[in-house]
A = this chain, B = another copy of it.
């Protein structure tokens, strides 16, 4: 709660690895952050927000709007709406703001000649890279490579990142089958132009129930979060989903039952891989998994489970894709959530987007296609996003945000545990212990969850849901204990009212 101390903390440039922590989180605060929510309208959204949404509704979907935002007036962890309300933001643009609104270092970047030149001369990166491309990437994205993954593919968004990882996995899988230096056969060349095998091979991605990997046609085929995401859209019929293990929380308390459920799921994954190899119907080229299935309701599993997945995929020559679009970039208290697993050999792909601002994936040389123009596109990402990623990574280092996330997360978790004991009907299956601020719990049911979120918003705290009845905390990395205490206080007020 010592705001003054935190605000005074000096941000020191550090070249050292993230692993080296300071004993005290030195997250630099925002000089102009409010100290409490300010709600000036009878309800949120207020009348101006409603009017702006109605105007948008004349030419674009507006029914998913929460409120219209004054981004200029937003600061740090606080989001200002068009009516003059100021809310503590524990949702952060669907988990996509890393270091706070209008961070002074990001502002400095945006005013730099380097950024401006990049912004106004958007290159076709695959043909005409900027002379500084390696320097920009290596000093940013390159400095947070997951161990063992030296290659970096840049793309436009999380869905694009996953789809391009799928493409790379498919191409590498067929290369393994045919011998990577083999020429394409006339049959392959001809059939691919008709969308038919062998040129367009009958391969599949295996994912899990409650997974969310995006909304384009490939990524959506692997997404199984909610009906509303999938209804009416054709999908690849032979891409299977294996049921996510039905674990209970806290994980540590139910480790024996959970382990049985996880082993069951692992056995099913292996059975599908083996069956498809033997009986056809679409061999599994890759398995994709989120470290925490986020949109699908913050579904966790043990490190043993993920190690098991890595083992099974490696054993059967299936690529292993870790989707860190939502879990990546420090939110769980490690830069990449999969660092918790302690894998013996790295995943084949780690995809990212959201908080990174830049999107894409890390991978191994083996999954670079044998010819250029197989993985290609006009833009292939965006230099300004790469520069923002670099600045964000610098800030995470300079402000020791990993340790901040760890300590604030621990504080939130223990406080919610206490609240859960007091309001067991409303805080159920609390989860995310030891995973930074990546915390969630279930409300009684979906309508109650929505009421709860509405009441929190009316009190000036912006929180999001996920899955069926879950409330997910997705604060920025600069969320500090005093912010957490505001959230916890308002939550208790709301629970008292229920």
> Which residues does A use to contact B, with CB under 8 Å?
48, 52-53, 55-56, 58-61, 63-72, 74, 79, 82, 93-94, 96-97, 101-103, 106-107, 109-111, 113, 115-124, 126-131, 133-134, 137-138, 142, 150-154, 156-160, 163, 166-167, 170-171, 174-175, 184, 188-189, 192-196, 199-204, 209, 214-219, 221, 224, 227-237, 239, 241, 353-354, 357, 368-369, 371-379, 384, 388
Contact = CB atoms under 8 A, between A and B. Distances in A.
B117 A71 contact: yes
A174 B116 CA distance: 45
A199 B231 contact: yes
A372 B231 CA distance: 12
B133 A167 contact: no
Contact of A69 (B74, B123, B160, B195): B123
B94 A201 contact: no
- Minimum-distance CB pairs A-B, first 8: A217-B218, A63-B372, A195-B235, A64-B372, A82-B131, A200-B235, A171-B232, A71-B121
A211 to B, nearest CB: 11
B120 A106 contact: yes
Contacts of A217: 163, 166, 216-219, 221, 236
B60 A151 contact: yes
Given A96-B378, A103-B120, A123-B93, A234 B201 contact: yes
A234 B192 CA distance: 9
Contact of A131 (B69, B115, B156, B371): B69
A457 to B, nearest CB: 12
Contact of A101 (B55, B66, B121): B121
With most chain B CB atoms within 10 A of its CB, the pick from A48, A69, A109 is: A69
B378 A230 contact: no
A397 B142 CA distance: 42
Contacts of A142: 59
Given A157-B379, A170-B233, A378-B96, A228 B371 contact: yes
Given A52-B131, A56-B133, A195-B239, 14 more contacts: A48-B131, A59-B152, A61-B368, A66-B128, A79-B128, A107-B120, A110-B120, A119-B384, A159-B160, A163-B216, A194-B241, A195-B236, A217-B217, A353-B378
B117 A72 contact: yes
28 contacts: A52-B131, A53-B129, A56-B129, A56-B134, A58-B150, A59-B134, A64-B127, A64-B372, A66-B128, A69-B128, A72-B113, A74-B121, A93-B378, A101-B121, A106-B120, A110-B116, A120-B388, A122-B357, A157-B160, A157-B379, A171-B233, A189-B231, A192-B232, A195-B221, A200-B230, A217-B221, A234-B236, A236-B236
